[in-house]
Chains A and B, each alone.
Chain A
């Protein structure tokens, strides 16, 4: 079966523009996570969706960042008024449910470059 897919694979944008990053989780996975990986840094948790529950947004770095998950499947991470410090690889992961023992399967990431 298909794994987690993300699009686009690369995105170059100008400072101040808005961007949308898409994640298609593994079918049947109720938990979905967004992470950010900056150059030379570990992965940083951004947001977590579990089923129909309210998302855990505690990792979002500013109100310019938001995410939605429609129909319990596809998720979109939106960054408004992008800044150069937003340049990073944005990784999406999904798991069968939110229990901590369940493996999170990662997508290939979207590399965002803000000029």
Chain B
């Protein structure tokens, strides 16, 4: 069964600090992995996307890594801001067939940044 597991479930940090969120997946056949940010009451917004050949991808203060061998990904947030408070969702896409474009979602990590 395709699964995506994220840790921690929730995280509280002080503004300006860095943090790293983890994602493990057992999705096959693997196509790509995305990290989404979901603000309260909003739909998810894509931060990064990586295929199996990409090890790292950055988007401003967000840096995602991917180890396709161990099926692990991380999202590192640098110099956190209050606006980073959100749920961060790891999403893995299955390749081919009737699963074309179908995504498997993790449950998300709820990040709270305190001043």
Binding site for B on A (CB under 8 A): 4, 31, 33, 35, 40-45, 48, 50, 56, 58, 91, 93, 95, 98-104, 106-109
- In chain A, what residue has the closest Cβ to B110? A40
A42 engages B93 (CB within 8 Å): no
Residues of A close to B34: CB separation below 8 A? 103
Q: Return 5 A-B CB contacts under 8 Å, by A number.
A: A42-B89, A42-B107, A104-B103, A108-B41, A109-B42
Q: In the complex, what distance in Å separates the CA atom of A70 from the CA atom of B31? A: 30
- In chain A, what residue has the closest Cβ to B92? A100
Residues of A close to B65: CB separation below 8 A? none
0 or 1 for each of B55-99: is its CB under 8 Å from A? (1 = yes): 000000000000000000000000000000000010001110010
Chain B contact-residue range equals: 20 to 34
CB distance from A71 to the nearest CB of B (A): 21
Q: In the complex, what distance in Å separates the CA atom of A40 from the CA atom of B44? A: 15
Q: Is B112 an interface residue (CB 8 A)?
A: no
A91-B43, A103-B49, A109-B43 as given contacts; A42 in contact with B101, CB under 8 Å: no
A45-B103, A108-B41 as given contacts; A101 in contact with B32, CB under 8 Å: yes
- In chain B, what residue has the closest Cβ to A45? B102
- Contacts A58-B98, A104-B103 known; 19 new A-B pairs at CB < 8 A: A33-B101, A35-B105, A40-B107, A41-B107, A42-B105, A42-B106, A42-B108, A44-B105, A45-B102, A45-B103, A48-B101, A91-B43, A93-B43, A95-B101, A98-B101, A100-B101, A103-B34, A107-B43, A108-B43
